[in-house]
Chains A and B, each alone.
Chain A
C-alpha cells in the first residue's frame, strides 16, 4: 500500500509540476491544484493506522489516526480559497493584458517596465530641480535673517 500511495502522490506532483511550466495561466492553476491534492494525499497516507472512523472510540476499537485527517481538512478548505483567488487573478490578468499566455505577458511587462523607467528618470530630474530651488530659497532666507541681525 505504501508504494501505491507514493506512486499516486508522485504522479500528481509530477503532473502538477509539468503543468506549472506551461505557457497557459489556467493550466498553471490546474498544476497548483494537483500539487495541493498531492499534499493532502500525502498527509492522509501518513496516518499511522487505518481502521474505523474516529467517532465514539471505545477502548478496544482500532480507529484511524485523527490528526492527519484534521490537517487534511484544513488543507482542503484553504485550497478552495487559494484556487478561487488564483482564478480571479488569471481573470484579471486576461482582462488587463488580453492574454493568458506567459510569453505575451512577459513581453508586455518588459515594455511597461521600460516606459516606467523612462518616466522615473524624468521625475527624478524634475524633483532634483525643484529641491535645488528649495534649498536656494532656504539659503536666501537665512542670508536675509543674517543681514537683519547685522
Chain B
C-alpha cells in the first residue's frame, strides 16, 4: 500500500516465517508479561509511594511497544523497519525511565535511547544508500537486485551496526545493564524477547543483503563471539539479579549474531530456533528475579539464599528455565544448543571451541544464579507472595518442558523463519540422538567445563572482576560519556553565541540570505528574466489597493504605538482580502476577512493583557540611532532580495499546472467549488494535518496562559 508515494514509501507488511516467530514472541510473552505486570506494578507503585494512577504512564507505552514490535516483525520495507525501530526505542525510553524521580533511571533511559536511536540513523543512511543505488526500499526487491559492491558493503555495515546496537552487542552493549533500572516487566519483555530481539530480527530479515559482503559477515562473527565471551564472563560475578540476566542477554544474543555470521542454512535455522528458546527462558528468569525482589525486598544475590523451601513453585519453574538456558536435556534449550553446536562444528574448529566455551559460561553463570537464590542457607525475608507473579513463570516453564519433548511445532516455525533468512528451504531437525555425534560430545564437554567453572568460584571471580575493571577503564561507556559531555559543551557554546542575543542571530540569518540571493541574482542571466506584466480590467482596482498596503505597511514599521500597529495590521489584512476577492479567489477572501477580524480581536486582547509600554528613556541616543540605522539597512536588504526573488519568480510562470486536472476532476468529486474540493479532497491529508496543528497551537496557548487549563 502506498504511504508517501512521492518518497517511494510503502506500507508493506507480510506475515512470513520470521514475522510469525517474532510476532508470536511479542504477543505471547507480551500477554504473560502484561498479566505479571498487573500485580508487579501495583506493588511497585506501593513501594515507591506513588499513586495508582501512575500506571497510566506505564501501560500505554507497553501496549504501543507491543504494537510496534508486531509491526516490525511483519514490515517488509527498510524505512518502515526504521520507523518501528525508533518507535520501540522511544517506548523503551519512557519505560526505562518510569521511575522518573530516580536520576539513575533517567540517565539509563537517555543512554538506551541515544545508543539505539543514533545507531538506528545508521540504518536509515544505509537504506538511503541502497535506494540511491537500486531504487527501492522494499526488502524482497532489494534482495533480488543487490549485488556485491562497495555501496552494498557500506550500507550492509550501517544496517548491521543499528541492529547490533539494538541487540546490545559489544561494543555498544553498555546500555543494556544500565537499562535494568526499569521495572521488571519491562526487562522481562523488552530486554529478553522484544527490544533486543529486534536487532537480531533485522539481521535475519536482511541477511541476504549482508551476505553480499564478506566483510560484514566476518564482522558479525567477530562481534558475536566477543559478545558471548564478554557478556558471559561479566555475568559470572554480578551481584544484582537483573544484572546477571542482562549480561547473560548480551551473551545469548551474541550466539545468534554468531550463527547469522556463519551464514549457512543450518545456522540460519538454528538462529531462528535459538531466538524462541532463549526468549522463553530469559523472560521466565527475569520474572523470577522480579518476583523474588518483590517477595523479599532484596535484589542482590549476596543477600538472598535458600528460597527454594519458601517459594517451591517459583524454584522449580525457574529451575526449568535456567536448565533450558543452560541447555540441559528435556528442555527446549537443549535443542538450541544442539543446533548451535551442529552449526559451529560445520563451520570449523575455532567456532567449535568457542561454542563449547560459550555453553560452559552459560551453565556456570545461570547455575550460580539459581543455586545461590534457591539453595543454601536461608537469607532474606519473604513477606509478599503473589500467585499472579509466579503463574507466568510456571507457564513458561511448562512451555519449555513441552518444547523439550515435542519439538515438532517449534522446529517447523524455526524452519520457516530460517527459510526467510536464507531464501531457500532450511532443515531444522532437532531430536535426541543417543550416539557419539560431535554435537553430543560438545554438549558433554560444555557441561563438564561449566560444572568446573561453577565449582571454582575463585577463578571466575578473578576473571570477571578483571574484565569488569578493564571495561570500566577502557570500555565504550567512557567514550559515550565523553561524547555526551563534549556535545553538551558544544551546544552550550553555540547557545551562548547564537541564542542569547536573538536579534543579532536574526540578522545573521537575514543578511546572509539576502546576500546569497544577491549572488544568485548576479550569477544568473537577467535578459528577459523579468516581465512587467500588463494591467487590465479589475487590475486598476487592485493597483491602488496594493498601494494602500504598501503605505500602511511602512506606517507599521515606523509606528510608536502598539495599538496603532495592531490596527494597521488589520488594515493590511483587509486590503489583501479585497485583493483576493478581486482576482477570483472568493474562498480565500472570505477566510481572510474572518481570520483578520479574529486576529485583530486576539491581538488587541493580548495587548490589553500586557503592561503599558514603558517610555523609551534613551530614545535618540547615539547607540540607539546607530542600531536603528543598522536595522533599516538590514530590512532594506531583505526587502530588496525579496523583491528580486518574487519578481523573477512571478515573471517565469510554469508552463502548466496540476490545477487543470483539479478543475477537470472536481465535478467527479462532487465538488462545484474547485478550491473546496482541493482543500477537502485532493489535498485532504494536508487539511487533516493543518487542523491538528490548530488544536495543538491552542493547547500551547492554554499551557502558556493558564498552565494547561484548557478552560
B31 within 8 A of A: no
Residue-wise, chain A 60-82 has the 8 Å CB interface mask toward B (1 for contact) of 00011111011011101111111
CA distance A17 to B587 in the complex (A): 29
Contact partners of A80 in chain B: CB under 8 A: 595, 598-599
CB of A94 within 8 A of CB of B610, answer: yes
Give residues of chain A (37-80) contacting chain B, Cβ–Cβ below 8 Å: 37-38, 40-42, 44-48, 50-57, 63-67, 69-70, 72-74, 76-80
A10 within 8 A of B: yes
CA distance A40 to B646 in the complex (A): 12
Select the residue from A55, A106, A113 with max chain B CB neighbours within 10 A: A55
CA distance A11 to B643 in the complex (A): 8
A122 within 8 A of B: no
Contact partners of B542 in chain A: CB under 8 A: 1, 4
B300 within 8 A of A: yes
Residue-wise, chain B 520-538 has the 8 Å CB interface mask toward A (1 for contact) of 0000000000111111000
CB of A66 within 8 A of CB of B642, answer: no
Residue of B nearest to A134 (CB): B104
Residue-wise, chain A 7-22 has the 8 Å CB interface mask toward B (1 for contact) of 1111111110111111
B271 within 8 A of A: no
CB of A73 within 8 A of CB of B591, answer: yes
Contact partners of A52 in chain B: CB under 8 A: 584
CA distance A109 to B643 in the complex (A): 37
Known: A14-B640, A106-B501, A150-B458. A79 touches B595 (CB 8 A): yes
Contact partners of A9 in chain B: CB under 8 A: 642-643, 646
Smallest beta-carbon distance B651→chain A, Å: 6
CA distance A15 to B651 in the complex (A): 23
Residue of B nearest to A89 (CB): B704
Known: A73-B591, A81-B694, A90-B610. A4 touches B546 (CB 8 A): yes
Smallest beta-carbon distance A31→chain B, Å: 9
Report which of B543, B656, B662 forms a contact with A4, defined as CB distance below 8 A. Answer: B543
CB of B603 within 8 A of CB of A83, answer: yes
CB of B606 within 8 A of CB of A90, answer: yes
CB of A46 within 8 A of CB of B650, answer: yes
CA distance A64 to B584 in the complex (A): 6
CB of A15 within 8 A of CB of B239, answer: no
CB of B635 within 8 A of CB of A14, answer: yes
Give residues of chain B (316-339) contacting chain A, Cβ–Cβ below 8 Å: none
Smallest beta-carbon distance A54→chain B, Å: 4
Smallest beta-carbon distance A145→chain B, Å: 5
CA distance A48 to B656 in the complex (A): 8
CB of B693 within 8 A of CB of A50, answer: no
Known: A79-B595, A142-B237. A34 touches B553 (CB 8 A): yes
B395 within 8 A of A: no
Known: A26-B562, A76-B588, A141-B300. A18 touches B557 (CB 8 A): yes
CA distance A127 to B683 in the complex (A): 54
CB of B635 within 8 A of CB of A21, answer: yes
Residue-wise, chain B 609-623 has the 8 Å CB interface mask toward A (1 for contact) of 111010000000000
CB of A85 within 8 A of CB of B701, answer: yes
Contact partners of A92 in chain B: CB under 8 A: 704-705
Residue-wise, chain A 105-134 has the 8 Å CB interface mask toward B (1 for contact) of 110011001000000000000010000000
B465 within 8 A of A: yes
CA distance A24 to B701 in the complex (A): 20
CB of B535 within 8 A of CB of A1, answer: yes
Smallest beta-carbon distance B645→chain A, Å: 9
Contact partners of A69 in chain B: CB under 8 A: 585, 587-588, 675, 678
Binds A, one of B1-9, B250-258, B503-511: B503-511
Contact partners of B602 in chain A: CB under 8 A: 83-84, 87
CB of A145 within 8 A of CB of B587, answer: no
Contact partners of B642 in chain A: CB under 8 A: 9-10, 13-14, 38
Residue of B nearest to A70 (CB): B678
Select the residue from B534, B588, B653, B656 with max chain A CB neighbours within 10 A: B588
Known: A11-B554, A142-B237, A146-B461. A54 touches B584 (CB 8 A): yes
Known: A2-B533, A100-B610, A144-B302. A17 touches B584 (CB 8 A): no
Known: A18-B631, A53-B585. A2 touches B651 (CB 8 A): yes
Count residues of B near A (Cβ-Cβ below 8 Å).
Answer: 103
CB of B603 within 8 A of CB of A87, answer: yes
CB of A76 within 8 A of CB of B634, answer: no
Known: A1-B539, A57-B674. A10 touches B639 (CB 8 A): yes
CA distance A150 to B584 in the complex (A): 94
Residue of A nearest to B237 (CB): A142
CB of B613 within 8 A of CB of A12, answer: no
Known: A18-B632, A57-B674, A85-B700. A76 touches B592 (CB 8 A): yes
Smallest beta-carbon distance A21→chain B, Å: 4
Contact partners of A4 in chain B: CB under 8 A: 533, 535, 542-543, 546
CB of B588 within 8 A of CB of A11, answer: no
Contact partners of B507 in chain A: CB under 8 A: 21
Give residues of chain B (61-95) contacting chain A, Cβ–Cβ below 8 Å: none
Report which of B585, B639, B678, B679 forms a contact with A17, defined as CB distance below 8 A. Answer: B639
CB of A15 within 8 A of CB of B659, answer: no
Report which of B239, B531, B646, B650 forms a contact with A138, defined as CB distance below 8 A. Answer: B239
Give residues of chain B (579-593) contacting chain A, Cβ–Cβ below 8 Å: 579-580, 583-588, 591-592
CB of B653 within 8 A of CB of A87, answer: no
Report which of A42, A77, A142 forms a contact with B694, defined as CB distance below 8 A. Answer: A77
Smallest beta-carbon distance B14→chain A, Å: 36
CA distance A87 to B702 in the complex (A): 12
Contact partners of B556 in chain A: CB under 8 A: 15, 19, 30, 34
Contact partners of A3 in chain B: CB under 8 A: 530, 532-533, 647
Binds A, one of B221-229, B260-268, B568-576: B568-576
B663 within 8 A of A: yes
Smallest beta-carbon distance B681→chain A, Å: 10
CB of A47 within 8 A of CB of B583, answer: yes
Smallest beta-carbon distance A9→chain B, Å: 5
Given contacts A24-B613, A67-B678, 20 further A-B contacts (CB under 8 A): A2-B531, A2-B650, A7-B643, A8-B549, A9-B643, A11-B639, A14-B636, A14-B639, A18-B634, A18-B636, A19-B635, A27-B562, A47-B585, A74-B687, A76-B592, A78-B694, A80-B595, A142-B465, A144-B302, A145-B302
Q: Which residues of A contact B (CB under 8 A)?
A: 1-15, 17-24, 26-27, 30, 33-34, 37-38, 40-42, 44-48, 50-57, 63-67, 69-70, 72-74, 76-85, 87-92, 94, 98, 100, 102, 105-106, 109-110, 113, 127, 138, 141-142, 144-146, 149-150
The 9 closest A-B pairs by CB, nearest first: A14-B639, A18-B635, A10-B643, A2-B533, A64-B584, A17-B638, A81-B697, A6-B647, A13-B642
19 contacts between A and B (CB under 8 A): A7-B550, A7-B643, A14-B643, A18-B634, A19-B557, A21-B503, A21-B631, A26-B565, A30-B556, A38-B642, A42-B649, A42-B650, A48-B659, A70-B678, A77-B690, A82-B697, A94-B611, A102-B502, A144-B302
Q: Which residues of B contact A (CB under 8 A)?
A: 103, 237, 239, 300, 302, 457-458, 461, 465, 496, 500-503, 506-507, 510, 530-535, 539, 542-543, 546, 549-550, 553-554, 556-557, 562, 565-566, 569, 572-573, 576, 579-580, 583-588, 591-592, 595, 598-599, 602-603, 606-607, 609-611, 613, 631-632, 634-636, 638-640, 642-643, 646-647, 649-651, 653-654, 656-659, 662-663, 666, 672-675, 678-679, 683, 686-687, 690, 693-694, 697-698, 700-701, 704-705
